[in-house]
Amino acid sequence: MHIDNKETYLVLTPTESSTRDFYNTLTKEITSLKENHILIDFSDKFNIEASEILLFLDIANEKRENGTSFVLIITGVNIDDVPDEINVVPTMIEALDTLEMDAIERDLMDF
């Protein structure tokens, strides 16, 4: 797993050979990434099935509960096949937009 540390978020890019291997690596590291907004860029790595996205449901829910964002960047997946609890977008631009929208939503909840 390659980690690119940006100013307000991390971009994780899988270097593993499968989605499950990446998930296993991520679960070992997730506690050290607890405070960070995370974007996972699968766009160039794997051909991911919607069922494999479900692996990340617990992490997505945990990140939301901690007040941080979790976004998967995946092309070629039917969004209707993905639970609403997981943010899945096809491009980095949309992932950054999702981070901004999540921040606005958190700010509104604080009022």
| pLDDT per position as a tens digit, 65-79 | 999 999 999 988 888
**pLDDT tops 80 at residue 9:** yes
Query: What class, spelled out in words, does domain 2-109 have in CATH?
Result: alpha beta
Residue 22 is predicted with a pLDDT of 95
Residue 43 is predicted with a pLDDT of 84
> How far apart (Å, rounded) are the C-alpha atoms in residues 38 and 55?
16
Residue 8 is predicted with a pLDDT of 93
Q: Give CA torsion, residues 15, 19, 20, 23, to 10 deg.
A: 70
Please write the tens of the pLDDT for every residue from 15-68.
Answer: 998 999 999 999 999 999 989 999 999 987 767 888 899 999 999 999 999 999
Residue 44 is predicted with a pLDDT of 77
Residue 12 is predicted with a pLDDT of 97
| Ranges of each domain in the chain | 2-109
Specify the higher pLDDT residue, 95 or 107.
Answer: 95
AA identity, residue 5: N
> How far apart (Å, rounded) are the C-alpha atoms in residues 79 and 88?
7
pTM of the model: 0.93
